[in-house]
Chain A
């Protein structure tokens, strides 16, 4: 993570002051909202940014980290350019979301919660997107892909430029193709 800290040390911290000002008078009740704003602005909760947030707000930094580590929405590490959220709701579960997840995991070569080395994709599961009539569903950034098959899910990622990664994602030579 040396690269990250090098990047982080060059972060422009001016927007943090704007965020704190937008919540004035800043109180404990604003912690979640401010962290959401910070994450929107910087992509994730980088250490120097959260420290600055705490300093400007006058609240202990531990309060910010306590909240940041509790809620699933917050990331302490850099996130990919695209966020792939595979819904693991009940309707999706019984209509095949485990297979969608498997296919996406194999395709991107990363597990739930991880980011591809090229920082193109971050993979997450979500408890329910509330679009059960589309099940199984995958949300890529803000676009919903519903009634998916594993094949279609992989195609979506292919179209967004996913590089072939990991083992078992390529076909061996001589694999027969469909005659039709």
Chain B
């Protein structure tokens, strides 16, 4: 076991220096996810205003990664007070500088609005109350483009500990004791994967970080790589030490340009600090990392397809065994871990495997990041101990569904998962329990659905996705998903046959059982769970030619109720066909004698149903809900 080296001493000095330089006064703006809603403009406004107020040297202005509560984008954190401002525009910045940074008071209108009024401090906001950020601890705090910022917050401390005081077996034992399971979806015990790769014969071993986050609705890996890329690198380095890998790859989706950019920077900075290369921190360990950008194929999230893609081939999976731990990349022993899994490694070493195992449930230990999206008030990323209930996630953290609708189901695990209906609100979310109701915890994407979601249409949507993304290698997946899609499309078009539902169940079972890889083996899940939990919706489509949620276009019609129409003409203007006619003016019922004399009385608008393309533009724009959809 190597001792302290001069290189490690140098890294520690760099960390101490970075800590000394770390100012107490800081404004942190998420400029990754929030970039889409003007975060860079807000940052520029802060630069201007801080300069104007003569505060540039006194206030650290940081561009950070995701701060979690994406619904409030752009999210701004003000420290040391721990104030969180949500949804600020550049024109709000002078007030923030004046009131908070100079005046020491709070701009209440930009705070999280709780039931009892504004909540200025992050720690008091219910969204953060039950969270337990281990993986996301630095995300949103540090500047992800600066290794100094990461070092000051403790990056690479656990790598030092592993390299100076822990044999590879001891690291694996600690991870095994933690009970960590793969966070990419399948939930395989990480310690076992590592020891299998370590035990495999051969000098050359590969380590791969799977950042091909393809599940629609999941964005935690993107947030981790964008917001704390050094957490991924530290996880990779510790894993490389444990399994004896010399070369690592990070396979990132090409759709995540900011993640690729931040990772490239992090790799270059890590190399400068002696954290990558032939003699890491002077300990003699050799390891390097390359980035491989995916090229837009969902199936490449499957590990053997991912290997094929790194090898430069079409991303088609192959049969297992042999498992990658025995024969992976270019036939060499290979360990493939998901981003979140790797980002858990340093926190586990820091707190100890046993303490980590105290979080979560008996079979599912630790924390999990969930991406809350869909019909929920506070969308965003949350990290909670596994075993939290759906109710806590959706209502306590997510603030429930928006007013006027009701929670119907949560779609978990993307195209491989299923829908968990409202009656399971008190169900604890862990690998096993979620599986019992037909869904999977998967990578943690959680799409909240309300009454306006048609479950048959949703099943059709996922099957369309799987049929398109099927790599075509094995017939059960290639043909099975296509046939299932045809049936679902037929049902949604009001042409369902009485035997269709049973046919879907039968086909679904066969596709699951006979497909080569995870894509096909799980593709029928969204269909099978919606049939299981929402059979009546399928029956309404097939037997009554009716879509209860009024989503399936061929089964709905729009009608303007003349007695409600105020003759404003907005619907006719919005209609793209156009198929709506009427006369703008005062509604006949409200018109006065004078209006009549002046010819100002309108005529209620009406839809020519034969021409209507059922786009719903009129329905959405009508200010008085005079349009009926059914």
A binds B: yes
Proximity string of chain B (446-479) to chain A, C-beta cutoff 8 Å, 1 when within and 0 when not: 0101001100001001100100010100000000
The reply to whether the CB of B309 lies closer than 8 angstroms to some CB of chain A is yes
The reply to whether the CB of B520 lies closer than 8 angstroms to some CB of chain A is no
On whether the beta carbons of A32 and B312 are closer than 8 Å, the reply is yes
On whether the beta carbons of A176 and B583 are closer than 8 Å, the reply is yes
Q: How far is the CA of A144 from the CA of B257 in the complex (A)?
A: 12
On whether the beta carbons of B578 and A175 are closer than 8 Å, the reply is yes
Q: How far is the CA of A179 from the CA of B36 in the complex (A)?
A: 34
On whether the beta carbons of A94 and B458 are closer than 8 Å, the reply is yes
Q: Given A33-B292, A142-B257, are A71 and B222 neighbors across the interface (CB < 8 Å)? A: no
Q: By the criterion of a CB under 8 Å from any partner CB, how many residues of chain B are at the interface? A: 71
A144-180 CB contacts (< 8 Å) to partner B: 144-146, 149-151, 168-169, 171-172, 175-180
Could you say which residues of chain A place their CB within 8 Å of the CB of B231?
none
A105 to chain B, nearest CB (A): 10
Query: Which of B373, B465, B569 is in CB contact (< 8 Å) with A127?
Result: B465
Q: Given A90-B461, A91-B373, A134-B37, are A128 and B312 neighbors across the interface (CB < 8 Å)? A: no
Q: Which residue of A lies closest to B220 (CB)?
A: A130
Query: Which of B294, B375, B620 is in CB contact (< 8 Å) with A95?
Result: B375
On whether the beta carbons of B584 and A177 are closer than 8 Å, the reply is yes
Could you say which residues of chain B place their CB within 8 Å of the CB of A129?
255
Q: How far is the CA of A95 from the CA of B445 in the complex (A)?
A: 16
By CB atoms of chain B within 10 A, which of A71, A128, A172 has the most?
Answer: A128
B370 to chain A, nearest CB (A): 12
Q: How far is the CA of A10 from the CA of B446 in the complex (A)?
A: 51
Could you say which residues of chain B place their CB within 8 Å of the CB of A28?
311-313
By CB atoms of chain B within 10 A, which of A31, A132, A142, A144 has the most?
Answer: A132
Could you say which residues of chain B place their CB within 8 Å of the CB of A71?
294-297, 314-315
A138 to chain B, nearest CB (A): 10
Query: Which of A94, A126, A142, A171 is in CB contact (< 8 Å) with B375?
Result: A94
Binds A, one of B117-125, B191-199, B211-219, B480-488: B211-219
Q: Given A67-B312, A73-B296, A128-B215, are A178 and B257 neighbors across the interface (CB < 8 Å)? A: no
Q: Given A133-B73, A133-B373, A133-B379, are A179 and B584 neighbors across the interface (CB < 8 Å)? A: yes
Could you say which residues of chain A place their CB within 8 Å of the CB of B213?
130
Q: Given A29-B311, A126-B255, A133-B70, are A94 and B447 neighbors across the interface (CB < 8 Å)? A: yes
Q: How far is the CA of A94 from the CA of B401 in the complex (A)?
A: 13
Could you say which residues of chain B place their CB within 8 Å of the CB of A32?
292-293, 295, 309, 312
Q: How far is the CA of A98 from the CA of B458 in the complex (A)?
A: 12
Could you say which residues of chain B place their CB within 8 Å of the CB of A180?
568
The reply to whether the CB of B104 lies closer than 8 angstroms to some CB of chain A is no
Q: Which residue of B lies closest to A69 (CB)?
A: B314
The reply to whether the CB of A103 lies closer than 8 angstroms to some CB of chain B is yes
Q: How far is the CA of A134 from the CA of B253 in the complex (A)?
A: 19
A48-88 CB contacts (< 8 Å) to partner B: 63, 66-67, 70-74, 88
Could you say which residues of chain A place their CB within 8 Å of the CB of B620?
99, 149-150
A145 to chain B, nearest CB (A): 8
Could you say which residues of chain A place their CB within 8 Å of the CB of B222?
130
The reply to whether the CB of B534 lies closer than 8 angstroms to some CB of chain A is no
Query: Which of B254, B292, B312 is in CB contact (< 8 Å) with A73?
Result: B254
Q: Which residue of A lies closest to B566 (CB)?
A: A179
The reply to whether the CB of B538 lies closer than 8 angstroms to some CB of chain A is no
On whether the beta carbons of A130 and B256 are closer than 8 Å, the reply is yes
Q: How far is the CA of A137 from the CA of B465 in the complex (A)?
A: 17
A149 to chain B, nearest CB (A): 7
The reply to whether the CB of B33 lies closer than 8 angstroms to some CB of chain A is yes
B446 to chain A, nearest CB (A): 10
Could you say which residues of chain B place their CB within 8 Å of the CB of A127?
214, 216, 298, 465, 469
The reply to whether the CB of A8 lies closer than 8 angstroms to some CB of chain B is no
The reply to whether the CB of A116 lies closer than 8 angstroms to some CB of chain B is no
The reply to whether the CB of B274 lies closer than 8 angstroms to some CB of chain A is no
Could you say which residues of chain B place their CB within 8 Å of the CB of A88?
216, 461, 465
A100 to chain B, nearest CB (A): 11
On whether the beta carbons of A151 and B309 are closer than 8 Å, the reply is no
On whether the beta carbons of A179 and B255 are closer than 8 Å, the reply is no
On whether the beta carbons of A130 and B73 are closer than 8 Å, the reply is no
The reply to whether the CB of B414 lies closer than 8 angstroms to some CB of chain A is yes
Q: How far is the CA of A142 from the CA of B258 in the complex (A)?
A: 10
On whether the beta carbons of B576 and A169 are closer than 8 Å, the reply is yes
B332 to chain A, nearest CB (A): 13
Q: How far is the CA of A173 from the CA of B294 in the complex (A)?
A: 49
On whether the beta carbons of B576 and A168 are closer than 8 Å, the reply is yes
Query: Which of B71, B217, B297, B584 is in CB contact (< 8 Å) with A70?
Result: B297
The reply to whether the CB of A22 lies closer than 8 angstroms to some CB of chain B is no
A176 to chain B, nearest CB (A): 4
Could you say which residues of chain A place their CB within 8 Å of the CB of B348?
none
Q: How far is the CA of A94 from the CA of B568 in the complex (A)?
A: 29
The reply to whether the CB of B411 lies closer than 8 angstroms to some CB of chain A is yes
Q: Given A73-B296, A131-B219, A146-B36, are A176 and B449 neighbors across the interface (CB < 8 Å)? A: no
By CB atoms of chain B within 10 A, which of A74, A90, A178, A179 has the most?
Answer: A90
Q: How far is the CA of A69 from the CA of B379 in the complex (A)?
A: 36
On whether the beta carbons of B255 and A130 are closer than 8 Å, the reply is yes
Q: Given A72-B296, A90-B414, A94-B375, are A128 and B254 neighbors across the interface (CB < 8 Å)? A: no
Query: Which of B71, B458, B573, B576 is in CB contact (< 8 Å) with A93?
Result: B458
User: Could you show 18 A-B contacts with beta carbons less than 8 Å apart?
Assistant: A28-B313, A29-B311, A36-B254, A72-B295, A89-B217, A91-B217, A93-B461, A94-B449, A95-B374, A99-B615, A127-B469, A130-B256, A133-B219, A133-B380, A135-B373, A149-B620, A151-B574, A168-B576
Q: Which 7 A-B pairs have the closest CB atoms?
A: A144-B36, A133-B70, A72-B296, A132-B373, A71-B295, A89-B216, A128-B216
Apart from the given pairs A72-B295, A126-B255, A128-B217, 6 other A-B contacts in the complex at a CB distance below 8 Å: A70-B297, A91-B374, A94-B447, A146-B37, A150-B620, A178-B569
